[in-house]
Structure 1
Amino acid sequence: MHSSPLPADAARVLARHREHFGRGAEALCRAPGRVNLLGGHIDYSEGLVLPGAIDRALWGCAHRLEGAAGRVEVLAADLERHGSFALDDLAPPVPQRPVQRADWLDYFRGPATIYWRCAARRAADFGVAITVAGDLPIGIGVSSSAALSVAQLLLLDALDIAANEPTSRLEWARFAQRSENEYLGVQCGLMDPYACLHGSEGGVVLLDCRSETHHEVPFPSDLALLLVDTGVRRRLAGSGFNSRRDECVAAAQALRTLWPELRTLRDVPAEELERAMACVDPPLGQRIRHVVSECERVRRGARALAEGDLETFGAAMRASHASSRDDYEVSIPELDLLADAANEHPGCVGARVSGAGFGGAILAVVHAAQADRVGRCVARRFEQHFARTPRIEQVRIGPGASCQRLV
């Protein structure tokens, strides 16, 4: 997976693992974050999305614990936290809990349970010690939680000497999605783990969330990505994220009186949009309009990006933010100011809310030569209005997840 010497974060996670557990790791994994250029909140309506893996990642390493079947010991090195749990005393899935757990170890309990229940399909016959660390920003819409799920699943598989036939990357993405749905209470779609697993250094992923297939769209090497953080934190399970999904389900159910074969809002004909909106009460009409128009923006934007038409691509990003703000209502004033400031700068191709919204960051696609200028301009505008300095991370499109045995 790597040539010598190891990347600094890989060497660091291996060193911390040995220091904490007193022995070396047997497997090493890299799981990147992702950005979503277009297609906000439509993966769970089986829409089209345009994400890409980035060059920031979570690194994980692990070794087997013999004679400790079902025990998981965890070191989150960057958080300076450690803990452990056993598979036989795991919390049930979120819908079965009287009160939802708010515990950092849930981010490890979910993938471990999903691995043994769904991937291995047998009782746990070994334990595992896991260390994670990296340079992936948390809470700014680059799907650090999906990266963590993917890393843990791949590490468990690498250590499972009794594993049967190889698991496909699509199956790993589905397992990671189930982990977030069932054990973190976030009703996300397939996009985040899929992008983490299928990313490519040379392009972004045009993913059809219904067929669960994709093709790569080249991403120009002279463009960079800026993540500008509002500093407003949100936890998706406690935000409006799940209610937006519920609204889409309710709207689709109402529209089946018009179109009995309709599966999701993706299936609403664009030419029938006004008729569809008239059949439901607010805010469901706005949710329908966002999904239908966002699917079209993804098609148009991906085609423009492939053809090098950055003007059309940037316009699609700007319209996506406006729709996320006005029709899907997942933006906040801090995000709107950052997006407006970036979009007004000539060095910016386009900017929109990053990730699920409700806080976090914006994503700005910028000409790499002007990235610093765009960042300084946006930061000044934000400081003038909110009297604090936003954190800015510059990232690039990078390769997808990988894992290897070390011994």
Structure 2
Amino acid sequence: MTEKLMETFQNLFGADGDIRTYFAPGRVNLIGEHTDYNGGHVFPCALTLGTYAVARKRDDRVLRFYSENFASLGVIETSLDDLVPDEKADWTNYPKGVMWTFEKRGYKLPQGMDIAIYGDIPNGSGLSSSASLEVLTGIVLKDMFGFDEITMPEIAQIGQYSENNFNGCNCGIMDQFASAMGKKDNAIFLDTNTLEYEYAPVVLPDAKIVITNSKVKHSLVDSAYNDRRSECETALEELKSEMPIVTLDDLTEAEFEAHKDTIKDPVRQLRAKHAVYENQRTIRAVAALKANNIEEFGKLMNESHISLKNDYEVSCEEIDILVDLAWEIPGVIGSRITGGGFGGCTVSIVKNDAVDTFIEKVGNGYKEQTGNTAEFYVVEVGDGAHRLS
């Protein structure tokens, strides 16, 4: 893959100079959805799917971008003096946003760059192709310009800041953190309020992680995501009038139930309920995994989906069909929506001897009920972003 991308880069931009290659993974979140911007815990892992870059510094301030995934757009050219969001800039708004954030933080970029990109994360799948691209840009800049003092957690924060403030999506830190800090065969148990984290081995001797791509992405995802965040922020302010809390996820389920009527709107109450309960589910799920209680982990995954469907209302018909089909198959330990919602993917833990049956029955059932063809990925847990040799 990198050889092909290098060949493309050299054909477009020339073969001379110090050309370097990089990789940043996508992620799947095993449990802990929509808790990251509510100050709670998440449990994502980096994938071996991700985004690759071939890059070289220039002698001027010109930026030239090319993506194999959007080859019809050709080379998109801009400048370090024009780091502003622009609809015509299309996908390059993500790397531009990271460059803008670097400069905003005092890391001045003295030269432009030529960058060629290729990603094998399916577009619109909810596996964090945008966060992968942001983190990828961050490590390119860190390495190319010698910003050795920037840590990988800071790269994640830069990616989140750029998506919030340059691209206008009020995402939490989880996606960028998983891409930056992933570790092979481990998931990251992250407290998004403090950024304290620990690695937890994902040891599934008799099972596999299977991602199912619904191949649908409903257009309301960005606006609805921002709406959910706003609803939770308002609910938090209402609760603060009665309780000395900093985030929704400071609450236990019992504390929430005792004070939930402080939240005046019933919809906001449901949103806050999901945040509180999902955080506690995530804490219990990680404890179950550490105790090798995979069945309990799967049960909590299922409960997570029900909450995301009914309380947070970020699922959709196609995703619910995939999950319902999965739950009917013996050997499926747990299945749930993963990612921002309104389409994208489900994540399932499936016993080894049931994987082929899972793919066949879920695939056939989904095609019959929706007319869409699902894609399946039996995934491996990989390392975080890094320069390739």
**1:112 to 2:112 alignment:** no
Q: Which residue of 2 aligns with 1:379?
A: 363
Q: Which residue of 2 aligns with 1:89?
A: 82
Q: Is the 8 A contact 1:46 1:264 kept in 2?
A: yes
Q: Which residue of 1 aligns with 2:38?
A: 45
Matched residue of 1:88: which SS?
Answer: coil
Distance 2:122 2:220 in 1: 16
Q: Is the 8 A contact 1:44 1:190 kept in 2?
A: yes
Q: Is the 8 A contact 1:26 1:159 kept in 2?
A: no
1:135-189 residue CA offsets vs partner (Å, 9 max, x unmatched)? 222211110100000111111121114x3x4211111110011111111111111
Q: Is the 8 A contact 1:276 1:285 kept in 2?
A: no
What is the deviation of 1:272?
2.2
Q: Which residue of 2 aligns with 1:314?
A: 298
Q: Is the 8 A contact 1:239 1:358 kept in 2?
A: no
Distance 2:350 2:48 in 1: 16
Q: Which residue of 2 aligns with 1:4?
A: none
* Letter aligned with residue 65 of structure 2: V
What is the deviation of 1:101?
7.3
* Letter aligned with residue 15 of structure 2: R
1:235-268 residue CA offsets vs partner (Å, 9 max, x unmatched)? 5763300100000100000111111x32121122
1:113-148 residue CA offsets vs partner (Å, 9 max, x unmatched)? 112222xx1543111111111322221111010000
* Letter aligned with residue 315 of structure 2: S
Q: Which residue of 2 aligns with 1:75?
A: 66
Q: Which residue of 2 aligns with 1:3?
A: none
1:283-317 residue CA offsets vs partner (Å, 9 max, x unmatched)? 01111111111111101111111111111000000
1:341-371 residue CA offsets vs partner (Å, 9 max, x unmatched)? 1122122121111101111121112223432
Q: Is the 8 A contact 1:287 1:327 kept in 2?
A: yes
- Structural mapping, 1:21-40, within 5 Å: 21-23=13-15, 26-40=19-33
1:199-224 residue CA offsets vs partner (Å, 9 max, x unmatched)? 11121110111110111111125332
Distance 2:42 2:220 in 1: 19
Q: Which residue of 1 aligns with 2:154?
A: 171
Aligned-residue Cα RMSD (Å) equals 1.8
Q: Which residue of 2 aligns with 1:14?
A: 6
Q: 1:320 to 1:237 in 2, by over 3 A?
A: closer
**1:128 to 2:119 alignment:** no
Distance 2:114 2:187 in 1: 33
Q: Is the 8 A contact 2:185 2:380 kept in 1?
A: no
Distance 2:19 2:141 in 1: 11
Distance 1:349 1:301 in 2: 13
- 4+ long deviations beyond 4 Å: none
Q: Which residue of 2 aligns with 1:6?
A: none
Q: Is the 8 A contact 1:338 1:362 kept in 2?
A: yes
| TM-score, length-scaled by structure 2 | 0.94
For structure 1, which segment, 37-46 or 130-139, has the greater mean C-alpha deviation from structure 2 after superposition?
130-139
- Structural mapping, 1:351-366, within 5 Å: 351-366=335-350
Q: Percent identity?
A: 31
**1:64 to 2:67 alignment:** no
Q: 1:102 to 1:346 in 2, by over 3 A?
A: farther
**1:55 to 2:48 alignment:** yes
Q: Which residue of 2 aligns with 1:348?
A: 332
Distance 1:156 1:102 in 2: 20
* Letter aligned with residue 371 of structure 1: V
Q: Which residue of 1 aligns with 2:237?
A: 253
Distance 1:224 1:131 in 2: 33
* Letter aligned with residue 283 of structure 2: R
Distance 1:239 1:294 in 2: 22
* Letter aligned with residue 348 of structure 2: A
Distance 2:273 2:22 in 1: 40
Q: Which residue of 1 aligns with 2:141?
A: 156
Q: 1:216 to 1:244 in 2, by over 3 A?
A: same
Q: 1:72 to 1:270 in 2, by over 3 A?
A: same
Distance 1:26 1:135 in 2: 21
Q: Is the 8 A contact 2:221 2:342 kept in 1?
A: no
Distance 1:188 1:122 in 2: 23
Matched residue of 1:104: which SS?
Answer: helix
Distance 1:314 1:86 in 2: 49
| TM-score, length-scaled by structure 1 | 0.90
Q: Is the 8 A contact 2:46 2:182 kept in 1?
A: yes
Q: Is the 8 A contact 2:46 2:179 kept in 1?
A: yes
Q: 1:403 to 1:289 in 2, by over 3 A?
A: same
Structure 1 spans left out of the alignment, 5+ residues: 1-8
Matched residue of 2:123: which SS?
Answer: coil
What is the deviation of 1:395?
1.3
Distance 2:65 2:190 in 1: 33
Distance 1:154 1:173 in 2: 10
Structure 2 spans left out of the alignment, 5+ residues: none
- Structural mapping, 1:254-333, within 5 Å: 254-259=238-243, 261-280=244-263, 281-333=265-317
For structure 1, which segment, 226-235 or 394-403, has the greater mean C-alpha deviation from structure 2 after superposition?
226-235
Distance 1:75 1:101 in 2: 14
